[in-house]
A = this chain, B = another copy of it.
Amino acid sequence: MIFTAQIKVMPLKNLLDPQGKAVLGGLANLGITGISDVRIGKQIELSIEAENETVAREKSEDAAKKLLANQVMEMYEITIS
C-alpha cells in the first residue's frame, strides 16, 4: 500500500529565525500590516510503500531523524495519510 507522509520541520521556538525576520520586513515593505511574527520551515512529502501505517510512520521517523531534521535546531511533526 502507498502512504503519504507529511513531515513538517520548523525551527525551535526559542531560536532566532533570520529567514522569518527577513520575510517580516518584506511584508511590511509591501504594505501588509498586522503581522507580528514569521517563522519559516520545511514541508516534506514522502510517498512510502509499506504494509501498514505503523511501518510507514517508522520509516518517516527514521528519515526525519537521520536526514530531514536537525534536532538541535529544529522540531518535526509527522502526519500519515
Give residues in A with beta carbon < 8 Å to B.
2, 8-10, 23, 26-27, 30, 32, 34-50, 59, 62-63, 66-68
Contacts and interface: CB of A to CB of B under 8 A. Distances in A.
The main secondary structure of chain A at its interface with chain B is strand
B41 A42 contact: yes
Given A40-B44, A43-B43, A62 B8 contact: no
A46 B41 contact: no
Given A8-B43, A43-B41, A68-B23, A34 B63 contact: no
Contact of A42 (B40, B59, B67): B40
A10 B43 contact: yes
Given A26-B67, A32-B59, A63-B35, A43 B40 contact: yes
Nearest to A2: B36
